[in-house]
């Protein structure tokens, strides 16, 4: 199989698995594949997610809100096994017709409010609790600029670079080159900005940091795609300083643990229903499942 011999047909048809890492769940159509209700806990917010960068944005936000004293932000976090296609259950699709984690239900609204797209969730929670969102117009606009920058940029990192560097069935120079170029350009954008600013918006830690860190912060910390050396992440010194500063926050550490199904058992809290779960229900304590 090589990418130099492929001639696209006149009309693409869905005939065979493509050999990629997510071939068993990828489909060219939307909608549910099976009937299954979502579980429901006792807290105001019901989160259905997974500890990918997009999922971690939201669990960090909840843990930061709770750490800041917003007790109304209590939440139940339920894992969605995307490798098993749980994002295509009828219950999940009813909350997010796009079948992607994270998906959130605010049960304090009548009827329940469904919130999907990680930036929409961050903005919803920030406005709901008046937190991690600047009030000043200029600062708020900066925050939105960087929040939307993240949503537009990360697909080049994840769906572009990450996919072809780590997940594609074989290595192809053209897409790896193209997306490496773009990801390094994005890191340089961040590096130049963070040379002049402690956080993405001046000295204020905001939802812009909470959105960008799980992707680009964790990339330079060597947690994404095993690509730290390839991308020479150490050369982005300001991004590294910012990434380490945010990584040291207790709420960020807790947020990384929620709905994590792989890696160090002590960092895996499959379901989160109570603050005490971090001490008693991680996989090193309850055993592998």
Residues of the shown chain interacting with ligand GSH in the complex, contacts defined by CB under 6 A? 25, 52, 54, 82, 87, 99-102, 117-118
- Smallest gap from Cβ 16 to ligand GSH, in A, equals 18
User: Is 80 within 8 Å of 52 (Cβ atoms)?
Assistant: no
- Smallest gap from Cβ 2 to ligand GSH, in A, equals 26
Of 99 and 282, which CB lies nearer to ligand GSH in the complex structure?
Answer: 99
- CA dihedral 195→228→187→20, nearest 10 degrees, is -160
Of 64 and 191, which CB lies nearer to ligand GSH in the complex structure?
Answer: 64
- Smallest gap from Cβ 82 to ligand GSH, in A, equals 4
Of 102 and 134, which CB lies nearer to ligand GSH in the complex structure?
Answer: 102
- Smallest gap from Cβ 255 to ligand GSH, in A, equals 15
- Smallest gap from Cβ 71 to ligand GSH, in A, equals 26
Of 82 and 194, which CB lies nearer to ligand GSH in the complex structure?
Answer: 82
Of 104 and 191, which CB lies nearer to ligand GSH in the complex structure?
Answer: 104
- Smallest gap from Cβ 213 to ligand GSH, in A, equals 14
Of 148 and 174, which CB lies nearer to ligand GSH in the complex structure?
Answer: 148
User: Is 207 within 8 Å of 128 (Cβ atoms)?
Assistant: no
């Amino acid at each position: 199989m090589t990418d130099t011999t492929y001639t696209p047909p006149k009309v693409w048809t869905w005939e065979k698995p493509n050999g990629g890492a997510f071939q068993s769940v990828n489909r060219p159509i939307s909608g549910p594949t099976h009937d299954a209700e979502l579980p429901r806990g006792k807290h105001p917010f019901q989160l259905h997610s997974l500890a990918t960068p997009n999922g971690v944005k939201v669990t960090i936000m909840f843990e930061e809100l709770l750490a800041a004293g917003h007790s109304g932000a209590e939440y139940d976090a339920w894992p969605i096994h995307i490798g098993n296609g749980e994002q295509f259950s009828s219950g999940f699709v009813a909350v997010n017709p796009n079948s992607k984690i994270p998906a959130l239900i605010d049960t304090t609204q009548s009827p329940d409010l469904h919130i999907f797209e990680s930036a929409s969730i961050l903005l919803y929670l920030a406005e709901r609790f008046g937190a991690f969102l600047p009030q000043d117009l200029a600062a708020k606009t900066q925050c939105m600029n960087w929040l939307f920058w993240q949503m537009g940029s990360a697909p080049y990192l994840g769906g572009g670079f990450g996919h072809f560097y780590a997940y594609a069935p074989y290595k192809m120079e053209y897409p790896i080159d193209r997306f490496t170029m773009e990801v390094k350009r994005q890191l340089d954008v961040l590096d130049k900005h963070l040379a002049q600013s402690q956080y993405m918006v001046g000295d204020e830690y905001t939802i812009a940091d909470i959105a960008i860190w799980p992707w680009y912060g964790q990339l330079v910390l060597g947690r994404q795609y095993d690509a730290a050396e390839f991308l020479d992440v150490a050369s982005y010194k300001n991004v590294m300083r910012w990434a380490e500063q945010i990584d040291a926050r207790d709420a960020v550490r807790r947020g990384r643990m929620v709905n994590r199904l792989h890696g160090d058992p002590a960092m895996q809290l499959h379901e989160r229903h109570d603050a005490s779960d971090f001490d008693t229900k991680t996989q090193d304590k309850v055993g592998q499942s």
